[in-house]
Amino acid sequence: MPVHRPGTAAPLTPRTRRARFGVAGALLAALSLLFTLPGAATAADVPARGEATMGMGVAAHDGDTGQGPVGRATQTEGVDTSSHNGNVAWSTLWNSGVKWAYVKATEGTYYTNPYFAQQYNGSYNVGMIRGSYHFATPDTTSGATQANYFVDHGGGWSKDGKTLPGALDIEWNPYGAACYGLSQSAMVSWIHSFVNQYKARTGRDAVIYTATSWWTQCTGNSSAFGATNPLWVARYASDPGTLPAGWGFYTMWQYTSSGPTVGDHSKFNGAYDRLQALANG
CB 154 within 8 A of CB 132: yes
Which among 276, 259, 207, 246 has a CA at the least distance from the CA of 69? 259
Predicted local distance difference test score (pLDDT) of residue 90 = 98
Count other C-beta atoms under 10 Å from residue 187's C-beta.
23
Write the CB contacts of 86 (distance below 8 Å, at least 6 apart in sequence): 115
Q: Is 64 exposed, middle or buried (0-12, 13-18, 19+ CB in 10 A)?
A: middle
| Residues with catalytic roles | 80, 169, 171
Count other C-beta atoms under 10 Å from residue 76's C-beta.
21
Backbone angles phi, psi at 55, to 5 degrees: 80, 10
Poorest-pLDDT segment among 13-27, 162-176, 238-252:
13-27
**pLDDT, greater one: 58 or 17:** 58
Q: Which of helix, strand or coil describes residue 203? A: coil
Domains observed in the chain: 58-280 (3.20.20.80)
Mean pLDDT for the stretch of residues 155-175: 97
Predicted local distance difference test score (pLDDT) of residue 217 = 98
Task: Give percent of the chain above pLDDT 90.
Answer: 74
Write the CB contacts of 72 (distance below 8 Å, at least 6 apart in sequence): 267
Residues, the chain, total? 281
Write the CB contacts of 191 (distance below 8 Å, at least 6 apart in sequence): 143, 168, 170, 208, 219, 222, 225
CB 221 within 8 A of CB 245: yes
Distance from C-alpha of 193 to C-alpha of 198, rounded to nearest angstrom:
9
pLDDT in tens, 31-70: 444 333 333 334 567 889 987 888 767 766 766 666 566 5
pLDDT in tens, 176-234: 999 999 999 999 999 999 999 999 999 999 999 999 999 999 999 999 999 999 999 99
Cα 1 to the center of its chain, rounded Å? 67
Q: Is 250 exposed, middle or buried (0-12, 13-18, 19+ CB in 10 A)?
A: buried
DSSP 8-state assignment for residue 254: E
Q: How confident is the model at residue 239 (pLDDT cuts 50, 70, 90)?
A: very high
Q: Is 204 exposed, middle or buried (0-12, 13-18, 19+ CB in 10 A)?
A: buried
